[in-house]
């Protein structure tokens, strides 16, 4: 409440002192919807979280693209974030304030590890009562359900009890007992979620059920950031949310963006190849992201809701190239669990996405559209291209 009042007062002051600026609503997220696209000189002050880890601007005068690249980095939603905007002059830090503030606001709505988040409220009310959610979360939940349908339940937003049980990436990661696994998977079924369109409420009918949006949150947020950047009048940018990369337009000199495809067997900065993209998103899911090992077996964070175990289907990683990052994120997790055969078959039915699969025998398969825009750079891998059953 206090936060809203504060934002409202700031907003009113700004409105009074500068009539040619865009306005913001109480949580700052409506800015992007404004029809009046002004130069990015938003002087709206965002109430930045005290614990935000964030850099100052790095400004590079880039002769190749004949532009000024302004970048800032942060650590949010459990991941490293870097946003670079290419323009004819330095981008004001206030735009990065807006972007990082937006990420923070969404994190506070959709993170299961924040007890006061909207999604935690939905989960705590499982078996008790429906909870009304904000528009952004409603939209994200609907998207989440749609990937459940695409993958026939291999992607399931109600996977939270299983995610919590394994605790992969947390300090309580362990191999659960068979009994615990059976109990958790009995609670997973996205079809049971009751959505009430009238009041945008969400109800999980059984106690113990829970929603986890970890598989789509980054993609969703990346799309929102892109909208803000465009609404502020910028046409060339690259948004990197921990490896979810979303490009805005092309480079100012018309070049494509070169985006590295992570080597699943290498370190965080090792790549196996490069994709040349324009105005596209690339999102990867892989066994290297979060895992623990016990007795030589790797237990990673992409779980099969039917078996209750990390998916073991001879894939090391998969990347989706799509227009919207939410689709890339949702489909990268979905197609990873579906596997090479079903995943490739599904991808071939969609002309709006391209997919690259890396199998555990170090072969790279991809859909037709990547033939001319993917370049293998590692000698460890073999480029096969089209997958034939
Ligand atoms: P990503 O890295 O985008 O593939 O997402 C992995 C994250 O999604 C995990 O850390 C879990 O929070 C969640 N998750 C794991 N398995 C599934 C699944 N089968 N369906 C939906 N979400 C999942
Ligand atoms: Mg995903």
Per-residue pLDDT in tens (0 to 9) along the chain, 389 residues: 444 444 433 333 333 333 322 222 222 333 333 333 444 455 678 888 888 999 999 999 999 999 999 999 999 999 999 999 999 999 999 999 999 999 999 999 999 999 999 999 999 999 999 999 999 999 999 999 999 999 999 999 999 999 999 999 999 999 999 999 999 999 999 999 999 999 999 999 999 999 999 999 999 999 999 999 999 999 999 999 998 999 999 999 989 999 999 999 999 889 999 999 999 999 999 998 899 999 999 999 999 999 999 999 999 999 999 999 999 999 999 999 999 999 999 999 999 999 999 999 999 999 999 999 999 999 999 999 999 98
Ligand nearest to the CA of 281: 2
Task: Say what the pLDDT of residue 144 is.
Answer: 98
Could you tell me the distance, in angstroms and rounded to a whole number, from the CA of residue 281 to the centre of ligand 2?
12
Could you tell me the distance, in angstroms and rounded to a whole number, from the CA of residue 183 to the centre of ligand 1?
19
Q: Is 337 in the pocket of ligand 1 (CB under 6 A)?
A: yes
Cβ 161 vs Cβ 187: under 8 Å? yes
Number of alpha carbons in the 13 Å side-chain half-sphere of residue 371 = 6
Closest residue (by CA) to atom 6 of ligand 1?
Answer: 215
Task: Say what the pLDDT of residue 319 is.
Answer: 98
Q: 277-389 has which fold? A: T-fold (3.10.520)
189 contacts: CB under 8 Å, gap ≥ 6: 153, 156, 158
Q: Is 285 in the pocket of ligand 1 (CB under 6 A)?
A: yes
Task: Say what the pLDDT of residue 192 is.
Answer: 98
Label residues 232-247 b or e (16+ Cβ within 10 Å = b): bebebbbbbbbbbbbb
Q: What residues does each domain of the chain span?
A: 1-112+214-255, 118-203, 277-389
Most informative mutation of 159, 168, 213, 330 for ligand 1 (most atoms within 8 A of CB): 159
CA atoms of 122 and 117, how far apart (whole Å): 9
Cβ 102 vs Cβ 136: under 8 Å? no
Best CA proximity match to 289, nearest among 243, 334, 329, 320: 243
Label residues 143-176 b or e (16+ Cβ within 10 Å = b): bbbbbbebbebbbbbbbbbbbebbebeeeeeeeb
Task: Say what the pLDDT of residue 184 is.
Answer: 98
Q: Is 244 in the pocket of ligand 1 (CB under 6 A)?
A: no
CA atoms of 210 and 158, how far apart (whole Å): 5
Q: Is 151 in the pocket of ligand 1 (CB under 6 A)?
A: no
Could you tell me the distance, in angstroms and rounded to a whole number, from the CA of residue 330 to the centre of ligand 2?
5
pTM above 0.85, yes or no: yes
Class of domain 118-203: mainly alpha
């Amino acid at each position: 409440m206090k936060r809203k009042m504060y934002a409202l007062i700031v907003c009113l002051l700004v409105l009074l002192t500068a009539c040619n600026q865009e306005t913001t609503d109480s949580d700052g997220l409506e800015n992007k919807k404004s029809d009046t696209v002004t130069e990015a000189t938003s002087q709206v002050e965002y109430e930045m979280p005290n614990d935000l880890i964030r850099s100052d601007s790095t400004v590079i005068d880039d002769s190749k693209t004949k532009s000024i690249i302004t970048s800032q980095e942060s650590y949010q939603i459990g991941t490293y974030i870097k946003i670079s905007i290419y323009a004819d002059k330095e981008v004001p830090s206030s735009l990065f304030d807006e972007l990082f503030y937006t990420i923070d606001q969404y994190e506070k709505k959709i993170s299961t590890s924040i007890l006061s988040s909207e999604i935690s409220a939905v989960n705590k009310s499982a078996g008790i009562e429906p909870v009304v959610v904000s528009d952004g979360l409603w939209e994200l939940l609907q998207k989440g359900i749609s990937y459940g349908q695409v993958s026939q339940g291999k992607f399931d937003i109600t996977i939270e009890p299983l995610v919590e049980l394994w605790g992969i990436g947390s300090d309580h990661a362990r191999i659960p007992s068979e009994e615990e696994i059976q109990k958790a998977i009995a609670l997973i079924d996205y079809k049971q979620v009751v959505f009430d369109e009238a009041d945008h409420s969400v109800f999980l009918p059984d106690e113990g059920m829970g929603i986890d949006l970890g598989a789509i949150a980054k993609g969703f947020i990346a799309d929102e950031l892109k909208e803000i950047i465009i609404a502020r009048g910028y046409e060339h940018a690259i948004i990197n949310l921990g490896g979810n990369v979303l490009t805005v337009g092309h480079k100012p000199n018309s070049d494509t963006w070169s985006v590295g495809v992570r080597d699943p067997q290498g370190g965080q900065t090792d790549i196996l190849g490069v994709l040349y993209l324009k105005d596209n998103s690339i999102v990867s899911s892989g066994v290297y992201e979060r895992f623990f090992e016990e007795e030589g077996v790797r237990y990673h964070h992409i779980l099969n809701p039917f078996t209750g175990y990390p998916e073991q289907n001879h894939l090391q990683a998969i990347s989706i190239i799509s227009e919207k990052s939410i689709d890339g994120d949702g489909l990268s997790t979905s197609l990873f669990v579906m596997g090479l055969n079903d995943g490739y078959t599904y991808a071939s039915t969609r002309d709006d996405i391209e997919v690259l699969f890396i199998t555990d025998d170090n072969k790279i398969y991809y859909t037709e559209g990547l033939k001319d825009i993917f370049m293998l750079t590692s000698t460890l891998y073999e480029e096969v291209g089209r997958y034939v059953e």
